[in-house]
Structure 1
Amino acid sequence: MNSINRNLGLSLARVTEIAAIECGKWMGRGDKIAADQAAVNGMRRMFDTIDIDGTVVIGEGEKDEAPMLYIGERIGKASAHAPMVDIAVDPLDGTTSTAKGLSNAISVIAVAPKGTLYNTEVYYMEKIAVGPEAKGCIDLNKPLKDNLIAIAVALGKNLEDLTVTIQERDRHDAYIKQCRELGCRIKLFRDGDVGMAIATCIEDSGIDVLVGIGGAPEGVLAAAAMRCLGGEIQGRLFPMTQEEKLKAPKEDFDRVLTIDELVKTNEVIFVATGVSDGDMLKGVRYLSGSRVKTHSVVMRGETGTVRYIEAIHNMDKKIAYADVYAAPGE
């Protein structure tokens, strides 16, 4: 098996950049399906320019009834010497945020050697994520209270100073109640739990722990980033319907997935580009003269390197992008 070239991350940044540019056109226009489709279209076409032999092992295609980037789809130019890789993808993490013109929407990819990224057809996952200083202190089999106390001790904080981020959904009312009873600070968010999980690894983000039930693809993507950043995430599949219960053996719904099971290697690359302004990345800026400014992050697990990239794209000169870049409705 060919290893992943360290320069692959920069090529993947071009994929998330064009996906962000495409779907960013739909910001605030109230159509999350069109925004998501624009991101999928841009990402899929740019993947065809990269020399990898990739397979989507976890993605949003079937969940969102999108025609591309479905689980099992082959991606890349696949030359004789191309590395064989698993791909986890979310062309637009934060579809509702984009449609409403809200924050923290990103386009995101994780790539690792074939057979190393966790895959499932179950859509949702219960998660808990922390940064490096609290690594080793979490256990999804234990009550939330016990986890929060252990995290506070590891961070040298009082519970009243611990900040828990939770997605604002009715299914999380019990989590919110428990946090309030303990006196913890709470930061609610509407969409974009990949970025919020990563925020636990960024010291000045003000976020200590993420808890709740969110997308399984986002769980794998977050695990890839946390492999690079030294954090920890645990997940457990959480079926929402009877149909989902049939997608995996019953024991899979009882098993806690560690970060080493979600991403089995340090040879992983995580890439994201901001669509709307967020805690980690700035959103797309559409400048005069067909110029577009993007803000991306590229992380590499083997070295722990984190690169932030600000790029200005002159769309008139991007011949390779010409058939990708188009205003909504064109």
Structure 2
Amino acid sequence: MGFELARATEAAALAAGRYVGLGLPQQADEEASTSLLKELGWLPCQGYVIGHGHREREVQNPDNPELWVGTGSGPEMDVVYAAVDGTNLLAQGRPGAVSVICATPRDQMWLPRSALNMQKIVVDRRVAKALVPECLDAPPGWVLALVARELDKDISDLVVWVLDRPRHTNLVSQIRLAGARAQIRIDGDIAGALLAGNPDSRVDVLMGVGGAVEGLLAAAGVKAMGGAMVTRLAPRDEEERRMVLDEGHDLQTIQALDDLVKTNDIYFAATGITDGELIRGVTFTGRLAKTHSLILGEGGVKRFVQSEHPMRGGRSIAMQDSHTVRAADPEAVSVPRL
């Protein structure tokens, strides 16, 4: 199923890639979402969307047909996606915008309906055993000393990924006071978490508050790579706080990866829209487009896939033409379509 999910993120990236640098984040996200959901219509499962990257205090209603994806046959799955993670990065032509999706068996992912933000710390597998819940309340300098010890590095060599938000002003000051280097980004905390959870990247840890849906997607990807993450709900205002409490959630509870994603049966895919440290972005060269994707899951395997898409009228020929193939032959599951 990982490759099927990658076809969806490829479609989203190809659609959003036409908007890079144009200053139109909403239009890019809408086009990417439409393309991604069309692809998910052919996912061989009964899929239910429990969260997506552009929700705003929506109520998830299981009777809403727009929340169901897939062919309607096969296993029951929960699906979470961000058609564009890093809309501002895309709009400004900056690195790091990606399209991301994950799926697990039904009821194996945790996402409060009204929560929009989470406090997070993410590390890779080399530090995973040392990342305990107490880290979330500890001074940043103490956490960084722990990470440095596990990585056998000086604190001055650590790179800490942080979202550029006013709420992180004190956090960034403490990171720098400890001697570590803050890598500050305006957007894209799923990509940031994947970098922190990947032992091959230059990022050692992610710290701070980001989106809840983005946190769940990050948790799936980080768990599939063997990393670790601790989180806690972080309402951004009194209304969100009240709604989260009304759902029965404790704002003091600290959760680890197994609390967010209960299963190891994880299917995860991400496709670059703009070039990033982890995945290259979409390139258009006349009648050909190239995409680069990361696929995780299936026994802990990590795959990097480069795909070439012949284009016609600005759109992938394969994704246009294979609608006809699907209609004629429902078993032709290896053929991509739009």
Q: TM-score, normalised by structure 2?
A: 0.87
In the alignment, the residues of structure 1 paired with residue 225 and residue 19 of structure 2 have an alpha-carbon distance, to the nearest angstrom, of: 31
Asked whether the equivalents of residues 60 and 217 of structure 1 are also in contact (C-alpha less than 8 Å), the reply is: yes
1:320 counterpart letter in structure 2: S
Q: Does 1:190 align with 2:186?
A: yes
In the alignment, the residues of structure 2 paired with residue 304 and residue 229 of structure 1 have an alpha-carbon distance, to the nearest angstrom, of: 7
In the alignment, the residues of structure 1 paired with residue 125 and residue 232 of structure 2 have an alpha-carbon distance, to the nearest angstrom, of: 21
1:178-257 equivalences under 5 Å are 178-249=174-245, 251-257=249-255
Which runs of 5 or more residues in structure 2 are unaligned? 59-63, 325-335
In the alignment, the residues of structure 2 paired with residue 278 and residue 238 of structure 1 have an alpha-carbon distance, to the nearest angstrom, of: 28
1:119-198 equivalences under 5 Å are 119-120=111-112, 121-138=114-131, 139-198=135-194
1:238 counterpart letter in structure 2: A
Q: Does 1:24 align with 2:24?
A: no
In the alignment, the residues of structure 1 paired with residue 39 and residue 292 of structure 2 have an alpha-carbon distance, to the nearest angstrom, of: 17
Shift of 1:61: 4.1
Summarize deviations over 1:141-192 as a string: whole Å, max 9, x none.
3332221111111111221122211111111001111111111111111211
Summarize deviations over 1:33-88 as a string: whole Å, max 9, x none.
101111111111111122210111121343298xxxx9981111112xx1100111
Summarize deviations over 1:264-292 as a string: whole Å, max 9, x none.
11100110000000011111111222x21
Specify which of 299, 303, 312 is matched with residue 296 of structure 2.
299
Specify which of 270, 273, 290 is matched with residue 272 of structure 1.
270
Q: Does 1:36 align with 2:29?
A: yes
SS in 2 for 1:108: strand
2:11 counterpart letter in structure 1: I
Asked whether the equivalents of residues 58 and 71 of structure 1 are also in contact (C-alpha less than 8 Å), the reply is: no
Aligned to 1:60: 53
In the alignment, the residues of structure 1 paired with residue 92 and residue 169 of structure 2 have an alpha-carbon distance, to the nearest angstrom, of: 23
Asked whether the equivalents of residues 26 and 99 of structure 1 are also in contact (C-alpha less than 8 Å), the reply is: yes
In the alignment, the residues of structure 2 paired with residue 156 and residue 223 of structure 1 have an alpha-carbon distance, to the nearest angstrom, of: 25
1:239 counterpart letter in structure 2: P
In the alignment, the residues of structure 2 paired with residue 257 and residue 103 of structure 1 have an alpha-carbon distance, to the nearest angstrom, of: 30
Aligned to 2:61: none
Asked whether the equivalents of residues 131 and 208 of structure 1 are also in contact (C-alpha less than 8 Å), the reply is: yes
Asked whether the equivalents of residues 290 and 308 of structure 2 are also in contact (C-alpha less than 8 Å), the reply is: yes
Q: Let me know the Cα RMSD of the aligned residues.
A: 2.2
2:20 counterpart letter in structure 1: M
1:273 counterpart letter in structure 2: T
Asked whether the equivalents of residues 118 and 210 of structure 2 are also in contact (C-alpha less than 8 Å), the reply is: yes
In the alignment, the residues of structure 2 paired with residue 315 and residue 32 of structure 1 have an alpha-carbon distance, to the nearest angstrom, of: 23
In the alignment, the residues of structure 1 paired with residue 253 and residue 51 of structure 2 have an alpha-carbon distance, to the nearest angstrom, of: 19
Q: TM-score, normalised by structure 1?
A: 0.89
In the alignment, the residues of structure 1 paired with residue 39 and residue 283 of structure 2 have an alpha-carbon distance, to the nearest angstrom, of: 20
Asked whether the equivalents of residues 171 and 208 of structure 2 are also in contact (C-alpha less than 8 Å), the reply is: yes
Aligned to 1:109: 101
Count of matched residue positions in the alignment of Structure 1 and Structure 2: 310
Shift of 1:325: 10
User: Identity, % of aligned pairs?
Assistant: 33
Instruction: Pick closer, same or farther for the CA change 1:257–1:71 going to 2, 3 Å.
Output: farther
